[in-house]
Amino acid sequence: MNKTIQTVESAAAGSTFIIEDVYPLIDGGRFAVKRIAGERVEVWADIYRDGDAVVSAALIWRREQDREWRSEPMTPDGNDRWSGAFTPHEPGPYVYAIEAWTDEFATWSHAVARKQRSGADISLDAIEGAGLLTKAHGARQDAAEVIVRQCDDYLQTGDVTPLLSTELGEAMADSQSRPDLTRSPLFPLVIDRDRARFGAWYQMMPRSQSQISGQHGTLRDCIARVPDIAAMGFDVLYFTPIHPIGKTRRKGRNNAPVASETDPGSPYAIGSAEGGHDALHPELGTIEDFRALVATCLEYGLELALDFAVQCSPDHPWLTQHPEWFKWRPDRSVRTADGPYSDIIIPDFASVDRAGLWNAFRDAMLFWIDHGVTIFAIDNHDTAPLPFWDWLIGDIRRRHPEVILFSKTYARPKLMKGLAKLGFAQSFSYFPWRTTKWELEQYFGELTGYPERDFYRANLFVNTPDLLPYHLQSGEPWAFKSRVALAATLSGNFGIFGGFELLEHEAVPGREEYLDSEKYRIKQRDWDKPGNIKPYIAALNRIRNDNAALQQTANLRFLNIEDGETIAFAKEAADPANTVVAVIALSRHVREFWLPLGDLTIDVGGERRHVTALENLLTGEQSRIEWGGIRLRIDPDRDPALLFRCLA
């Protein structure tokens, strides 16, 4: 755990408070912890001072832009460990801190009670206690009435009993001065809406949605596909870039360096005479068509996500409007990216007018937000400096806390985590390259451990326009089903790129890339092609929507089965209580094995009970647990995944 120490000397109390080992914190509070709106934020800390005075502590929190603090009491859990919790209900940036102080009246009360039990004279102590009552200030009316009444009772009778009442102690707790009040540093917290935690993503190339061979798809064609995508249970419809595509250095089929007249180019080469990042590719349609698409998505329960790439084609209007935003070679040609990306230009984020460039990208994002986009998948962002992302994320979050930014880079592990710390609500992961049982268990043990679980939300894409993993290149249905079942159950967020449901698997020989990739061509499909796994994906999404345990990632526990080609794990929801066990085959062979469940418990009305039965979430069949487990059989050619709800 991270350790943060805040020490303040108090001349009045002659003591020192220590607040340390605060949880949750990311890098000592340098980066924000992430939580979901409506989710309890639990905070722990070690809080102590010298001597045996009674310590009180509170957890204070507020939205970053607010001035007034909210406060929740912290309670001691033994050995100077304190805990508290609060529940933010709106997305946005927050801060929280811990306050500690000496409860002078409680300290007096405890000391007097001890002396009274020993039979010592406490007459002077009683006078001192009554004197403390005169220092009470700012008390609520009900507390003030208690203080006055108990003080009068003491003064009239001389009996210390009224001063030692629990009622008076509670009234004084919030009504006395706190001369040694100590506040920790402010710690950042980001609250995202629920879609950041849970969602099924369907990515597609808009230009490939026409049903007429060779014809460029339109946004109206995309609208026609929305019901089919919604029927598979997806929550997010995710588009590759929809902007005008440059012609200079345009790539041909399969990333050929020279394009033919009919090649459409890569949508990631953004910008032409028709416009840049705030323009639509003319062949896709009009902004009115885009608004109609957003409305149709909402009608079917889908959100629209856009790729947002901070790069340009050589034909982007910015090159002539703002040449200072780019790097130029001695021959006055613009510096392009190298190798396979020679059709794009990376702007100079450190240019003399970097403020203008940064604002231009921000304004383009705001344009699409104004037109109904709520999610952006940030592409190629490891080429922009970290300070730019830090600034952009903070600026967008303050303006539109409902917007989700998804970091879609397969960069170095520490860079991916660093970008997540800066505030990206979701991130790509190395899931496509984790195929064996031990790799999956080790990797997800890392992602669900501390501190990663507090800042890194993995979105498990099984394929992308750039990635066709080797394990899918055989085209075997069981492999496609196994990988999508793993993605859909291991994480609250997963995604596919269109064509996966049709088992598309033709690869560039020796590479994890699609042959005749849609990045460089227009492709038409029969979306109901025989052999598709659309019903299987729909069933997975239905099960996810019906079971809160599968709508999160952190509460994951692997189960120990003696079969190296089968993985098993349990996931438990916090509220309402729901536990799901998943057993998924990692090879094609029929498997029979023993699933141990003897130490697995579930919450029943606040009480932990052992699992006594499993309910198959696909068939509804129930099986009793005997001798601490159950014998299972998986035939991957029929279904490589068994999903159960635990019963007690």
Read off the pLDDT of residues 469-514 as tens digits, 9 standing for 90 and up.
Answer: 999 999 999 999 999 999 999 999 999 999 999 999 999 999 999 9
- Give the CA distances from residue 378 to residues 30, 141, 410, 427, in Å, rounded to whole numbers and listed in that order: 23, 54, 12, 10
Determine the average pLDDT of the residues in 141-146: 84
Q: Spell out the domains of the chain, with CATH numbers in brackets.
A: 18-191 (2.60.40.10), 194-550 (3.20.20.80), 556-647 (2.60.40.1180)
408 forms beta bridges with 379
Per-residue pLDDT tens digits for 602-625 = 988 888 899 999 999 999 999 999
Query: Do 303 and 387 touch, CB atoms closer than 8 A?
Result: no
Q: What is the mean pLDDT of residues 74-101?
A: 97
Task: Please give the pLDDT value at position 576.
Answer: 72
> CA 333, CA 327: separation in Å to the nearest integer?
9
Q: Give the pLDDT confidence score for residue 2 in this predicted structure.
A: 42
Residue pLDDT, tens place only, 534-583: 999 999 999 999 999 999 999 999 999 999 999 999 999 987 789 999 99
Alpha helices in 66-103 (DSSP H): none
Phi, psi of 486 (to 5 degrees): -60, -50
Bridge partners (DSSP) of residue 467 are 464
Cβ–Cβ under 8 Å, residues 597 and 645 = no
| Mean per-residue pLDDT over the chain, rounded | 93
pLDDT range class, residue 132, cuts 50, 70, 90 = confident
Residue 1 has pLDDT above 80, yes or no: no
For the record, the structure tokens of 149 come out as 């009444």
pLDDT of 554 reads 93
The residues near 432 (Cβ < 8 Å, ≥ 6 apart) are 461, 462, 463, 467, 469
Predicted local distance difference test score (pLDDT) of residue 381? 64
For residues 423-429, average pLDDT: 97
Quick check: 11 pLDDT over 90? no
Q: Which class for 229: exposed (0-12), middle (13-18), buried (19 or more C-beta within 10 A)?
A: buried
CA 113 – CA 266 distance, rounded (Å): 80
Tokens matching residue 243: 């902007």
Strand partners for 256: 252
CB 501 within 8 Å of CB 488: no
101 contact partners, CB below 8 Å, separation of at least 6:
17, 55, 56, 57, 178, 180, 181, 182
Model pLDDT for residues 512-524, shown as the tens digit of each residue: 999 999 999 999 9
Counting runs of H as helices and runs of E as strands, what totals does the chain give? Answer: 13, 29
- Edge to edge, what strands does the sheet with 375-379 contain? 426-427, 404-408, 375-379, 303-309, 236-239, 199-204, 493-497, 459-461
Record the pTM: 0.93
Q: Residue 635: what residue type?
A: D
Would you place residue 107 in the very low, low, confident or very high pLDDT band (cuts 50, 70, 90)? confident
Residues 6+ apart with CB under 8 A from 105: 129, 132, 133, 169, 172, 173, 176
pLDDT at res. 116 = 86
Position 4 confidence tier, pLDDT thresholds 50, 70, 90: very low
- Taking each helix axis from N to C end, the angle separating 166-173 and 141-157, rounded to the nearest 10 degrees, works out to 130
What pLDDT digit, counting tens, does each position of 176-194 carry? 888 899 999 999 999 999 9
Q: pLDDT over 90 for what percent of the chain? A: 80
> In the prediction, which pLDDT does 339 show?
77
Answer whether 428's CB lies under 8 Å from 447's CB: no
480 burial level (CB within 10 Å; 0-12, 13-18, 19+)? buried
The model's pLDDT over 350-401, given as tens digits with 9 standing for 90+, comes to 999 999 999 999 999 999 999 999 999 998 766 899 999 999 999 999 999 9
Residue 219, pLDDT above cutoff 90:
yes
Q: Read off the amino acid at residue 373.
A: V
Q: Cβ distance 519 to 267 under 8 Å? A: yes
The predicted structure's pLDDT at residue 5: 42
Q: Is the dihedral of CA 135, 140, 144, 150 positive or negative?
A: negative
